[in-house]
Structure 1
Amino acid sequence: MPNIKSAAKRLRQNEKCRVFNRMRKSRVRTSENILDDLIKAGDKEAVVAGLTKCYSELDKAAKNGVIHKNKASRKKQRLAARVAKMA
């Protein structure tokens, strides 16, 4: 338990950030899993829509510092390659 007022505030801030970061990472993983299912199903239009959604989630996570921008770029590149391979 913090003894200093600023340390208590920092504890509260860290908890809020932790929850937000977990939520954002979870959204990224969920969108990737949905895209996997769409690729397995083979519906081209749905896959393109899912890829766009996945790109959006990755960009948002990178913008907020939840994941590194290069990691987001790498994931986007690999997802695009899988979609291209499907087509």
Structure 2
Amino acid sequence: MANIKSAKKRIKVIDKKTALNRVRKSQVKTAIRRFEEAVNAGNVEEATQRFQFAQKKISQVASKGTIHKNAAARKVAKLAQKLNSMNA
């Protein structure tokens, strides 16, 4: 356990940021899962809407620094590939 006041504060700050990052990552995973459910159901319109929502969530999380921008781009590209394979 930390004894120095600034170290105690850092522990509190880290705990808050960790909790917030966990929430954000969960939101991204949920958005991706819902998109994949729509793809598996074969519903192109719903999949397109869910793709846009997932893309938005991923971009927001990347802009906040929770995930790296290249990781976000990779996730979006993978989802776009699935969506395009439905249309083809």
TM-score by length of 2: 0.95
What is the CA-CA distance between 1:40 and the residue it aligns to? 0.7
What is the CA-CA distance between 1:38 and the residue it aligns to? 0.3
The 5 Å alignment of 1:6-17 reads 6-17=6-17
What amino acid is aligned across from residue 8 of structure 2 in structure 1?
A: A
Q: Aligned partners of 1:82 and 1:43: how far apart in 2? A: 12
What amino acid is aligned across from residue 11 of structure 2 in structure 1?
A: L
**Residue 72 (structure 1) aligns with:** 72
Say how many residue pairs are matched. 87
What amino acid is aligned across from residue 54 of structure 1 in structure 2?
A: A
- Structure 1 residue ranges, 4+ long, deviating more than 3 angstroms after superposition: none
SS of the residue 1:35 aligns to: helix
Q: Aligned partners of 1:48 and 1:82: how far apart in 2? A: 11
**Residue 36 (structure 2) aligns with:** 36
What is the CA-CA distance between 1:60 and the residue it aligns to? 1.0
Matched, 1:26 2:31: no
What is the CA-CA distance between 1:31 and the residue it aligns to? 0.6
Q: Aligned partners of 2:24 and 2:60: how far apart in 1? A: 8
Q: Percent identity among equivalent residues?
A: 36
TM-score by length of 1: 0.96
Q: Which runs of 5+ in 2 are unaligned?
A: none
